Amino acid sequence: MSKHQLSIAYQLSFQSDWHVGSGYGSMMVDRHARRRRDRVTGQQIPYVPGSQIKGLLREACEQRVATMGGEGSQVAEVHGGDSDANENLVRAFVPSTISELIVDRLFGTRYAGECLYCSNSQAETEQRLRSTAISRNSIDRATGTAAAQKLFSTEVVPSQTCIFAGEIEGRHAERELTLSDHGFPYEYAILVAALRCLDSVGGDRNVGRGAVEVKITEIRWWPAGGKDWQSVDLAKAFQPLEEDETCDMIQMIREG
């Protein structure tokens, strides 16, 4: 089967202290940062898992698409449940090649295999990334004030000059995506826009942690039926989104 392939390389530059939790604690620190073991130095190095990047991108794509309006802008629940109406479940239970939902065609659904893959974002430098523990009070949700005897500590990585790098790979069947007049698929254009809009990563974002700047260093696209990779600059990547009523246009093209 002929497939579209997408490869995006990007860099994250943290502008504030950040914390991506491991889910573990100790006697000294309640919330440890997630780390991986470097094969060369043996050091435990903080990183941003690809699953978190993918989740943030999906949320950003849903927000971007929701502002466009049209049938394709609707969003299906990723994790079903008793609250789902039967008609919504049936609507989502279709091959992604004929799905009306733009985000589902891009990311896949709980009924279909994934088509988008995000690598871990890891430090480009070999320097040791130092961390520190910061204490704070837990907030009583009822009163909005500090809860009694609820002091806890979080391991954070200070903002520094270190750059983190990651990659996004996409593989989509030919009929899953919608080609614009400019050639580049609408769905890929929305993904690139979502990546550029990413402004925070990790936990405690509501208190200012994890602020990032994203720099896209390379976009490559292999069209379905093509013979080689094509380099795509940001101007070309955003061209499909410059059309008015993009979501309605996508649906018309797919039905046409």
Q: What is the pLDDT of residues 113-143, one digit of tens each?
A: 678 899 998 887 766 677 777 777 777 777 7
Lowest mean per-residue pLDDT among 3-17, 38-52, 62-76 = 62-76
Please list the residues that pair with 118 across neighbouring strands.
Answer: 168
Using a 10 angstrom Cβ sphere, with 0-12 exposed, 13-18 middle and 19 or more buried, the burial of residue 50 is middle
- Maximum average pLDDT range among 53-57, 105-109, 144-148: 53-57
Report DSSP letters for 153-205, one per residue: EEEEBPP-S-EEEEEEEEEEEGGGS-B-TTSSBHHHHHHHHHHHH--B-SS-G
Listed residue (37, 248, 205, 3) closest to 115, CA to CA: 3
Q: How confident is the model at residue 215 (pLDDT cuts 50, 70, 90)?
A: very high
User: What is the C-alpha separation between 27 and 21, in angstroms, rounded?
Assistant: 16
pTM for this prediction: 0.78
Return the pLDDT at 40: 67
- Given a cut of 60, whether residue 73 has pLDDT beyond it is no
User: What is the C-alpha separation between 234 and 143, in angstroms, rounded?
Assistant: 47
Domain span at residue 74 reads: 3-78+86-255
- Given a cut of 60, whether residue 162 has pLDDT beyond it is yes
Return the pLDDT at 53: 92
Return the pLDDT at 219: 94
Give how many domains the chain has, as a whole number. Answer: 1
The answer for residues whose C-beta is within 8 angstroms of residue 116's C-beta and 6 or more apart is 54, 106, 107, 108, 168, 169, 170, 191
pLDDT digits (tens, 9 = 90+) for 56-69: 999 898 888 877 76
User: What is the C-alpha separation between 121 and 210, in angstroms, rounded?
Assistant: 14
Residue range 248-256: average pLDDT? 47
Which has the higher per-residue pLDDT, 250 or 3? 3
CATH number at 98 reads 3.30.70
- What are the backbone dihedrals phi and psi of residue 74, each rounded to the nearest 5 degrees, phi first? -70, 155
Return the pLDDT at 254: 44
The answer for residues whose C-beta is within 8 angstroms of residue 49's C-beta and 6 or more apart is 20, 34, 120
The answer for residues whose C-beta is within 8 angstroms of residue 103's C-beta and 6 or more apart is 58, 61, 62, 65, 75
Q: What's the alpha-carbon Rg for the chain, to the nearest Å?
A: 21
- Given a cut of 80, whether residue 168 has pLDDT beyond it is yes
Return the pLDDT at 229: 92
Using a 10 angstrom Cβ sphere, with 0-12 exposed, 13-18 middle and 19 or more buried, the burial of residue 127 is exposed
Helix (H) / strand (E) element for 222: namely: strand 212-222
SS3 content of the chain, % helix, strand, coil (to 5): 25, 30, 45
% of the chain exceeding 70 in pLDDT? 70
